Amino acid sequence: MNIIADLHTHTLLCRHGFSTVTEVMEEAGRQGLLAVGLTEHGPGYPGSVGWAYFNTYRDIPRKVGDLEVLCGAEANFMKLDGTLDFTDDQLAKLDIVIASCHKECSPSGTEQEVTGMMTAAMKQGYVDIIGHPDNPIYPVNAEVLAAAAAKYQVALEINNSSPAARPGSEPMCRQIIAAAKRHGTLLAVNSDAHYHKVVGSFAYALRLLTEMEVPEEQVINSSLDRLHHFLSGRHSCNMIK
């Protein structure tokens, strides 16, 4: 399977990244990717940027050579009712939105509560991807989550950084992949790079998808046409058509 876009990256602006926006874009081009997502942590994450940063994306080129640039965010779950750290109006103005749990700011709960929190956010219509839903400290019901993601046409992320960042995540990741196959749920393969040399690194995620025989048409960033189709019309300022 060929992954043509890395939709989940971070920069030094999140205070635990090591590279600039320019370095991320340049590395994506060097890796032969056709698109890259700039998805800094939302303002709910301690030390990250405020809305003024995301509101100034107008100065970022949406095309650098052959590379398409998606100006988005990794929103944080802030309450068990699915509240994120952006307003709906703000989310609508971004090119791509990942919603994720982070121990620094997101509430934990039971499997039912966490699954319900993610489902509530998907239902609102502004979330494109649920980020690293395999995190062991945020238990989910893989079957219920995959069914909800299929219903609301939200992709579940297979995060290449999970083994290092979220030890013990692989069993849940496998459950999510298996449930996604049963429900026809869309998936997204991303690096979650916090250093530009990690952009385009997908070996772990691709190994799991290959072992579990996931068809490439189920992965939104396995072709540029699939990515365009997935994102088309989802956000008011989306530059990819």
Does domain 5-231 fall into CATH 3.40.50.180? no
- The percentage of residues in the chain with a pLDDT greater than 90, rounded to a whole number, is 96
Instruction: Check: CB of residue 49 under 8 Å from CB of residue 20.
Output: no
| pLDDT tens-digit map of 214-235 | 999 999 999 999 999 999 988 7
Interatomic CA distance for residues 228 and 34, integer angstroms: 11
- Looking at residue 234, its pLDDT comes to 84
pLDDT at 241 over 80: no
* pLDDT confidence band for 238 (50 / 70 / 90): low
pLDDT at 239 over 90: no
97 alpha carbon, distance to own chain's centre: 7
User: What would the mean pLDDT of 125-152 be, rounded to a whole number?
Assistant: 98
| pLDDT tens-digit map of 92-117 | 999 999 999 999 999 999 999 999 99
- Looking at residue 149, its pLDDT comes to 98
Residue 5: half-sphere exposure toward Cβ, Cα within 13 Å: 29
pLDDT at 201 over 90: yes
What global pTM score does this model have? 0.97
